[in-house]
Amino acid sequence: MNALEILLVEDNAADAKLTIIALQEANVSNKIVLLRDGNEALEYIFGSIEDRVPKVIFLDLKMPKVNGNEVLAKLKQDGRTRKIPVVMFTSSQEPRDIKECFDLGANSYLVKPVDYDDFSKVVKSMGQYWTLHNITVD
92: Cβ–Cβ under 8 A, 6 or more apart, which residues? 61, 62, 98, 111
Element (H, E) at 68: helix 68-77
The whole-angstrom separation of Cα 93 and Cα 27 is 28
- Residues numbered 60 to 99 that lie near other proteins (CB under 8 A) are 91-93
In the bound state with other proteins, the residue whose beta carbon lies nearer, of 111 and 137, is 111
- The residues, ordered by sequence, that sit 6+ positions from 81 with a Cβ below 8 Å of its Cβ are 45, 46, 49, 53, 74, 75
- Residues in Cβ contact with 96 at an 8 Å cutoff, skipping those fewer than 6 apart: none
Q: Whose Cβ is closer to other proteins: residue 78's or residue 94's?
A: 94
Q: Which residues 23-62 are close enough to bind other proteins by CB under 8 A? A: none
- Which of 18, 33, 73, 110 contacts other proteins by CB under 8 A? 18
Does the protein bind other proteins through residue 100 (CB under 8 A)? Answer: no
Q: Which is nearer to other proteins, 96 or 133 (CB)?
A: 96
Only one of the segments 28-36, 64-72, 80-88, 107-115 lies at the binding site for other proteins (rule: CB under 8 A); that segment is: 107-115
Question: Which residues form the interface with other proteins (CB under 8 A)?
Answer: 12, 14-15, 18, 21, 91-93, 112-117, 119-120
